[in-house]
Amino acid sequence: MASGRLSFLLALEVPPWPIRMLVRQMTRENPLWGAPRIHGELLKLGIEIAQLTVAKYMGRRGRPCSQGWKTSLRNHAPQIAAIDLFVVPTIGFKLLYGLDILHLGRRQLVWTNVTANPTAEWIARQITEAFPWDQAPKYLIRDRDGSYGGVFRWRLQAVGIRERPTAPRSPWRNGHVERLIGSIRRECLDHVVIFGEVHLRRVLTAYAEYYNQVRTHLALAKDTPRAFHGLTEA
């Protein structure tokens, strides 16, 4: 009873300004910590303060306790790939579909191909071609297009890849590959008239080589996806 009353009296006291600032700093830098954890850390530092006082000066949290989508992508980028389809009209007004698979770790365009009929079976074959058994990523981000059918999902399971569909109408969740497709359009397809499937495949293959070996990226400190220690892979 006496111990509880002492804690209550200590909570009524206003701690010095440096301690209040320390409590708020620990709250900002450790969003998963609550008042009991911060109180225990302060006791370890020799700061005698009541837990009620810590809770009072923690303030409101400016961000959720759970890990956000952007933080998750940044922390797990070396193990994540992203896939997306985009439409390309030809000179004869025929619609072709380009497919890009991007590895987020080095922003490397690991696979690109073209088809006039993007079925689940065709996309599943592209996964096999893009990722040998010892190089498959742990996760694959995709949108909710109907082309990613059962055969595609079974192929992912077979090679040990866990799919991560984005939320409906949320292209920003697959923003890396969306940005890649935008670059392909602005830097390549907007300046070329596509004659057919073979022509488009040749154009995209040439752009993929340029993208991986020559084009610099701000996210890579103005380096190229295949450059290591100042050398570029052949």
Place 10 in a pLDDT band, splitting at 50, 70 and 90: very low
Pairing state between β 139-142 and 108-115? unpaired
Q: Tell me: the pLDDT tens digits for 42-81? A: 998 888 888 888 888 887 665 555 666 677 777 778 899 9
DSSP string, 10-50: HHHSPPPHHHHHHHHHHHHH-TT--HHHHHHHHHHTT----
120, amino acid identity: A
**Mean pLDDT rounded to a whole number for the chain:** 86
**pLDDT of 15 higher than 80:** no
0.85 surpassed by pTM: no
Question: 68-79 burial, b if ≥16 CB within 10 A, otherwise e?
Answer: eeeeebeeebee
The domains found in the chain, sorted by start residue, are 2-57 (no CATH), 70-232 (3.30.420.10)
Distance between CA 101 and CA 89 in Å, rounded? 20
The residue among 220 and 87 whose pLDDT is bigger is 87
According to DSSP, the residues that pair with 227 across neighbouring strands are 232
Query: Any idea of the CA torsion for 98, 104, 109, 114, to the nearest 10 degrees?
Result: -20
**12 half-sphere exposure, CB direction, 13 A CA radius:** 5
Q: Tell me: the pLDDT tens digits for 125-168? A: 999 999 987 789 999 999 999 999 999 999 999 999 999 999 98
Place 234 in a pLDDT band, splitting at 50, 70 and 90: very low
Q: Decide: helix, strand or coil at residue 93.
A: coil
Q: Tell me: the pLDDT tens digits for 16-33? A: 888 888 998 898 888 888
Reading the block at residue 122, the tokens are 């065709």
